Amino acid sequence: MSMQTDHIIKDFFKDTSRFADLMNAILYGGQDVIKPDELQVMDSNEIFVGKYISKERRRDVIMMWKGKESQAILALEAHNQVDFTMVSRTLLYDALTYNMQDKKSKNHMLPYVMSIVLFHGEGKWTAKTSLLERVNIPEGIKQESNDWKMNVIDIKDLDYHLLKNEDNRSVVKAVGKIWRKEKEDFKGMEVSKAAARVIAILTERYDILDLVKGDKETMAMWSFWQDIENSGFQKGEERGMERGMKKGKLELVILLLKNTLGKLTPELIVRIEKSNEEELSNIALHISDIHSENDVLKYI
């Protein structure tokens, strides 16, 4: 997901009505437990200070929920690719959030932090969701080891009937049906422009975002689907050319980094493969300034 489109999803779910509705569907089976007026958008910028780097970490959406009887910090991370590093990353995000509360709160009790990874890519999430499943534990101490599990929700498996917000229901229903190619159900279905933009991004149809522009307040999903099919998600030749150019640039960057740093970790290779062309170009342009894997992360 590019920086240019990333904000559309964030802005959509920063609406407290949509956020509350989505969390109620995920956590409470659609019961009206979390109220929009009990939510407060939190600053998603957190600073991670390591031994060698000071690096900004940004959550997608994070809110403080102050209910009459409950209080928690709820975070949403939208993800379109299966990522085996997500367990440790989400653990880090939650730990940083607790640390931030420690610094702000004078109370020895902290609000509970829960992160939801909303997977909206094609296929199923196959990466590990438990920390202990990702680490090699020495024999004899496994029973004493603490586990940590992250919450992954596949938007395609979420029952849209549990959602009361019309935009949320449209998004969840349409995304699932697009990935499953159930186009007949789109006949007569109208969605708001805000929902249509998010549907386009969640299903990786970035090239048809321009079709959502205009004066009309709603969009017919049948027309939306036809535009997707007719565009071929871009003309086949253009997509093939773009993929070829990016593949060539990716191979060049990895070769340059191996010549500079030696063997690269699997985690870094995954991050590089997910980089867009601009980020790959930045790595190549600054190769003389790169002396460690941390230096690479400054450009992606």
What's 21's domain CATH number?
3.40.1350
Q: Residue range 59-78: average pLDDT?
A: 91
**Are 156 and 19 contained in the same domain?**
yes
Could you say which of 138, 160, 182 is where a domain stops? 160
Mean pLDDT throughout 23-50? Answer: 85
Q: Judge whether residue 51 has pLDDT over 50.
A: no
State the pLDDT at residue 154.
Answer: 96
Question: Do 113 and 141 fall into the same domain?
Answer: yes
CA torsion sign, 55 to 58 to 59 to 63? positive
Same domain, 141 and 286: no
Q: Which residues pair with 79 in a beta bridge?
A: 119
Quote the percentage of the chain above a pLDDT of 70: 84
pLDDT at 160 over 80: yes
**229-283 tens-digit pLDDT:** 665 544 444 555 555 566 778 888 888 898 888 888 888 888 888 888 888 888 9
Query: Is pLDDT at 6 greater than 50 in this prediction?
Result: yes
Residues 69 and 112 in one domain: yes
Residues 125, 12 share a domain: yes
Query: Does 13 lie in the same domain as 147?
Result: yes
Residue 292 belongs to domain spanning: 236-297
CA separation, residue 242 to residues 100, 214, 248, 293 (Å) = 42, 28, 10, 27
Q: Are residues 103 and 191 in the same domain?
A: no
pLDDT(52) > 50: no
Same domain, 22 and 123: yes
Nearest to 84 by CA among 123, 114, 125: 125
Please identify, among 160, 184, 212, the residue that sits at the C-terminal boundary of a domain.
Answer: 160
Domain count, the chain: 3
Q: Check whether residue 195 and residue 241 sit in a common domain.
A: no
Are the CB atoms for 76 and 60 separated by under 8 Å? yes
pLDDT single digits (tens) 173-220: 999 988 888 877 888 888 898 998 899 889 887 766 776 776 777 888
Asked whether residue 60 falls in the same domain as residue 118, the answer is yes
Going by their DSSP bridges, the two strands 112-119 and 151-154 should be labelled as: parallel
Confidence at 21, pLDDT banded by 50, 70, 90: very high
Do 139 and 225 fall within a single domain? no
Look at residue 16 and tell me whether its pLDDT is greater than 90.
Answer: yes
Choose one of 160, 182, 212: the last residue of a domain: 160
pLDDT, the chain, mean: 83
Q: How many CB atoms lie within 10 A of CB 65?
A: 22
Residues 150, 35, single domain; the answer is yes
